Structure 1
Amino acid sequence: MASTMRYLTMNNGLRMPTVGLGTYLMKGDILKQAVDYALFLGYRHIDTALSYGNEVEVGEVVNDRIRSGKNKRKDLFITTKVPCAYLEKDAAIRSGEMSLESLKLRHVDLLLIHQPWGNVNRGDGTLKPLNPKGERELQHHDLLETWAAFEQMHGQNWAKSLGISNFNPKQIQKIWDKAKIKPANLQLEAHAYWQQNKLVEFCRKKNIVLTAYSPLGAPSKPDKKTDDLVLLEDPQVRQLSVEYKKTPGQILLNFLLLKGMGVLPKSQSFERIKENFDVLEWKLSSSDFEKLRELDNTVKYFTNEWAHEHPEFDKSEPF
């Protein structure tokens, strides 16, 4: 059997499993098999989003395992996200409602604002609206209004914890200053090539837990630039892989865990799912940890060009 799960304690006193299964771009039977196998191994955190279009499959597996007695709901940690087309208060609440309906759950353990860069809500379910030029139809929303919707859903026991994703320090601080329920988690792109040290320090002071998506460098990103460096093939990572007799992916995940982050590796391969979980019972030496720290500021894989003209997009701030 794989490693025993470990946890990070959020500022609301609730715990988040350090290793979760990311489900971006995964659907259908392949996704269901991956989620079922992950939960069998000992994963307890499953990350999804309304915009992924896969909450139904995730919910089917989770509910099947609960009904069969293989898992208890109290031991699972399910995260979902409200998309940027639904940032108005009523739309955000409806988004949360739709997620619970799809997941067939009474609550999620963590609800996130997926991105701060609002899109036009056409009212027909379009999550990424485009104008005739093929450009995203952007719209500015008051993020405090969105957060008020989140606090309402928290009050209705729809979400045990609230958080944000792809937010910069100014946006987090704006919500923090007015929030009755403080953000407990920030999910963001983070890996050895893009370590987010400023945000790590900013969130640490508020005890906001950070969770890294694409912790292996987004190897399956469909529109990755051809000249982007491949993190899993980095010479330093591969050297440590040989020395520790671990896969490059395990080296990279252990590095982020040592930085105090949670990680959300994504895979549909049973072998990789198991490898990604076997990172909790060992750790890199301090000197090898420092070798990976030196790789920072190499590549950010998700540049979100579509949002660059949005008033909430600040190229000078990390996110």
Structure 2
Amino acid sequence: MAAEKIPVVPIPGTRGIPMIGLGTFNDFQRRGSNDDVKEAVKIAIDCGYRSFDTAYAYQTELIVGEVINEKIKEGVVKREDVFITTKLWNTHHNPVHVRANFLKSHQNLNCEYVDLYLIHWPFGFEDDATETFPMDDKGYARFSDHDYMDVWTEMEKLVDEGLVKAIGLSNFNKSQIERVLQNCRIKPCNLQIEVHPYLSNKKLIDFCFSKDISVTAYAPLGNPNRSWAKGNEHTIFEEPILKDIAKKKNKSIAQVCLRFLHQRNIIVIPKSVTPHRIKENIDILDFDLSDDEMKAIWSLDKGARVLEEPTVITINKLNVNVSDLIECYSEGPVSCSMAAEKVPVVPITGTRGYPMIGLGTFTIFEKRGSNDEVYEAVKCAIDCGYRSIDCAYVYQNEESVGQAINDKIKEGVVKREDLFITTKLWDTHHNPAHIRENFFKSLNKLNCGYLDLYLVHWPFGFEDGDVCFPMGDDGKARFSDHDYLDVWKEMEKLVDEGLVKAIGLSNFNISQIERVLQNCRIKPANLQIEVHPYLSNKKLIDFCSSKGISVTAYAPLGNPNRTWADSKDPIIFDEPVLKEIAQRKKKTIAQVCLRFLLQRNIIVIPKSVTPQRIKENFDILDFELTDDEMKAIFALDRGKRFYALGIGIGHKYYPFNDEY
């Protein structure tokens, strides 16, 4: 395709950015050696590409610059024909050194000027670190505290000098862009973000267009070759809708995806080192998608980011995935706020992510917690900013939870897609033949369209039926003999149907989880277990972390109001260590306990029906525990379990026969 046929988006100070370019992100890929990238850029120029996207962090600037200069010498292109974009990396945010760091990229590219220079991310790592991702000996990222507004001021000076034609942003969220717009001298002309059929990013893109900021989509094909992809993940290239459209148009699925973005007026920078794919990716201007086809592709949106595994970092010692900072990072490290967008999320494939602070609703055996109280608690929590609600069939309050959620949706406080709803398959519902039917009992009560996360509540089953705790005349529980692997296979089918976004486990031990992993088609996304200062569960949590399974802590405060408490049981709230830390931090003991778990990268779902406590439990992001304080709380570990469900003892799948 001739380069002149490619539409361009006007960029002040330039000849415009071509709407189809070549991406060169190479750092974590299974394919893409320096020699491969070199050949890819050569082929791309010969095919008609005139836009090339690189970055200091990609370590491909030198190669991109070398090839462009070779093609200029050969007379294939002139410098003014080519649009070169690169980015300022996170270790280069010191305003004093922004110019010097830009010149490193400028020198690598060996071009007279850069057409577009972007701030790669709004947050900074330690200044001028030799590593791309500087980490300390505990695996935490080393941060700088530079304000991206100070960085922007220095970027503007590069435009003044003529070193850069235009400047823009990458991976910024709406509030961050608004802050730049309110304080800038030169307006950002472009935002580069992840966009593909699984992540439409519609609201952010609409906002940019309203401000005359063009948008470039990276990973426009979902980056199927990323090295951190999970083996059981569905890929865009497996979607029947896209296969059907591609067949009808006599095009590849990649071409359909790129055309979809092109018709949304989004610039695309697909990356490839395969010659025929490079040629295919530019050949998207000879067909149109109908309105119905566009709607069909829109319907694939899952809010699913692919920039996940390699870049988990830490804010105030709180592990947060880099991709999620687009949503949760604002002016500096995460600050305490009752706003939902401040709560970090854990990536869960197929969802918009699992908020790390949620509301638990287990009150069936509590001193307080009628269904009416649970209804009011859920409403209060949503008003405070909670977007994750945890419940279960056995809690017997799914209807109250669902009613509260739907009332808040009707009020316009939230939309369904803003919420992350978890419930669980109870032990009397393990018969594989009836799992779908039993799932619908929960879904109908919740009345929420779909579930974000559905868990197998326990690995063992009771006698089939709707009596939650079936007991024999001998006072012992009546068990079923269903294998939890057969249960899991039926859970997987619920994901296939789109009824459930993700599935996981609860109260499973290591050997049971390993057995699921060895036999599953869809990997468990989450394990929910009891964790608090008296029960650290470290070995089990470390195991889950090594397998990419997130962990949710129930009873994170030790459940002091449980009706079955023994008068001799220790009480977390009486611990002098916790009292001292709470006094020093000017926080409650509950807040210290929850922060302890959050800094271990554990999702927390404290339960309460008291408005003040619901608010307090959410307010844990404005302080951090020191290493010594963390060690002091770890020292309280007694292996003390408050939820043993002793009536399950004797079943072959009872999980607590093993230590962990």
Measured against the shorter chain, the TM-score band is: over 0.9
Query: Hey, what does 1:137 align to over in structure 2?
Result: 478
User: 2-side partners of 1:7 and 1:318: how far apart?
Assistant: 30
Q: CA deviation at 1:281?
A: 2.4
Change (3 A) 1:24 1:315: closer
Aligned partners of 1:129 and 1:136 also within 8 Å: yes
User: 1-side partners of 2:656 and 2:496: how far apart?
Assistant: 35
Q: CA deviation at 1:117?
A: 1.7
Deviations 1:103-131 (A, max 9, x none): 1121010000001121011x3x2121010
Query: Hey, what does 2:420 align to over in structure 1?
Result: 77
1:86 and 2:86 matched: no
Question: Match for 1:43 among 353, 369, 386?
Answer: 386
Superposition pairs for residues 227-266 of structure 1, below 5 Å?
A: 227-266=568-607
Aligned partners of 2:606 and 2:617 also within 8 Å: yes
Change (3 A) 1:145 1:169: same
User: 2-side partners of 1:276 and 1:131: how far apart?
Assistant: 41
User: 2-side partners of 1:103 and 1:11: how far apart?
Assistant: 22
Query: Hey, what does 2:358 align to over in structure 1?
Result: 20
User: 1-side partners of 2:656 and 2:493: how far apart?
Assistant: 31
SS of the counterpart of 1:85? helix
Moved segments of 4+, more than 4 Å = 11-14
User: 2-side partners of 1:275 and 1:223: how far apart?
Assistant: 26
1:193 and 2:534 matched: yes
1:101 aligned partner, one-letter code: N
Deviations 1:37-59 (A, max 9, x none): 10000000000001111011111
1:6 and 2:344 matched: yes
Question: Match for 2:377 among 34, 45, 63?
Answer: 34
SS of the counterpart of 1:95? helix
Query: Hey, what does 2:495 align to over in structure 1?
Result: 154
Q: CA deviation at 1:266?
A: 0.5
Query: Quick one: higher RCO (CA 8 Å, sep 6+), 1 or 2?
Result: 1
Aligned partners of 1:10 and 1:207 also within 8 Å: no
Q: CA deviation at 1:230?
A: 0.3
Query: Hey, what does 1:207 align to over in structure 2?
Result: 548
Superposition pairs for residues 261-276 of structure 1, below 5 Å?
A: 261-276=602-617
Query: Hey, what does 1:65 align to over in structure 2?
Result: 408
Aligned partners of 1:110 and 1:162 also within 8 Å: yes
Q: CA deviation at 1:8?
A: 1.3
Aligned partners of 1:27 and 1:57 also within 8 Å: no
Q: CA deviation at 1:303?
A: 2.1
Structure of greater Rg = 2
Q: CA deviation at 1:318?
A: 4.1
1:7 aligned partner, one-letter code: V
SS of the counterpart of 1:110? strand
User: 2-side partners of 1:138 and 1:236: how far apart?
Assistant: 42
Aligned partners of 2:556 and 2:605 also within 8 Å: yes
Deviations 1:234-274 (A, max 9, x none): 11111111111100000000000001100010101001001
1:219 and 2:560 matched: yes
1:56 and 2:394 matched: no
User: 2-side partners of 1:148 and 1:61: how far apart?
Assistant: 32
Bigger drift between 226-235 and 306-315 goes to: 306-315
1:290 and 2:631 matched: yes
Bigger drift between 203-212 and 139-148 goes to: 139-148
1:184 aligned partner, one-letter code: A
SS of the counterpart of 1:186? strand
User: 2-side partners of 1:65 and 1:111: how far apart?
Assistant: 22
Q: TM-score, normalised by structure 2?
A: 0.47
Change (3 A) 1:139 1:293: same
Structure 2 unmatched ranges of 5 or more: 1-336, 364-368
Please tell me the root mean square deviation across aligned C-alpha atoms, in Å: 1.4
Query: Hey, what does 2:645 align to over in structure 1?
Result: 304
User: 1-side partners of 2:349 and 2:624: how far apart?
Assistant: 25
Query: Hey, what does 1:113 align to over in structure 2?
Result: 456
SS of the counterpart of 1:105? coil
Bigger drift between 4-13 and 189-198 goes to: 4-13
Q: CA deviation at 1:28?
A: 2.1
Aligned partners of 2:351 and 2:501 also within 8 Å: no
Query: Hey, what does 2:126 align to over in structure 1?
Result: none
Aligned partners of 2:507 and 2:527 also within 8 Å: yes
User: 1-side partners of 2:450 and 2:383: how far apart?
Assistant: 22
1:23 aligned partner, one-letter code: T
Change (3 A) 1:13 1:206: farther
2:546 aligned partner, one-letter code: K
Structure 1 unmatched ranges of 5 or more: none
Identity over aligned pairs, percent = 34
Deviations 1:137-195 (A, max 9, x none): 12221111100110111111111010000000111111111111110000000001101
Change (3 A) 1:67 1:218: same
User: 2-side partners of 1:224 and 1:246: how far apart?
Assistant: 26
User: 2-side partners of 1:55 and 1:314: how far apart?
Assistant: 26
Aligned partners of 2:585 and 2:623 also within 8 Å: no
User: 2-side partners of 1:152 and 1:256: how far apart?
Assistant: 33
1:106 aligned partner, one-letter code: G
1:18 aligned partner, one-letter code: M
User: 2-side partners of 1:82 and 1:268: how far apart?
Assistant: 24
Bigger drift between 132-141 and 242-251 goes to: 132-141
User: 2-side partners of 1:317 and 1:198: how far apart?
Assistant: 12
1:294 aligned partner, one-letter code: A
Aligned partners of 1:169 and 1:318 also within 8 Å: no
Change (3 A) 1:22 1:95: same
User: 2-side partners of 1:15 and 1:96: how far apart?
Assistant: 22
Change (3 A) 1:175 1:254: same
Q: CA deviation at 1:12?
A: 5.9
SS of the counterpart of 2:522? coil
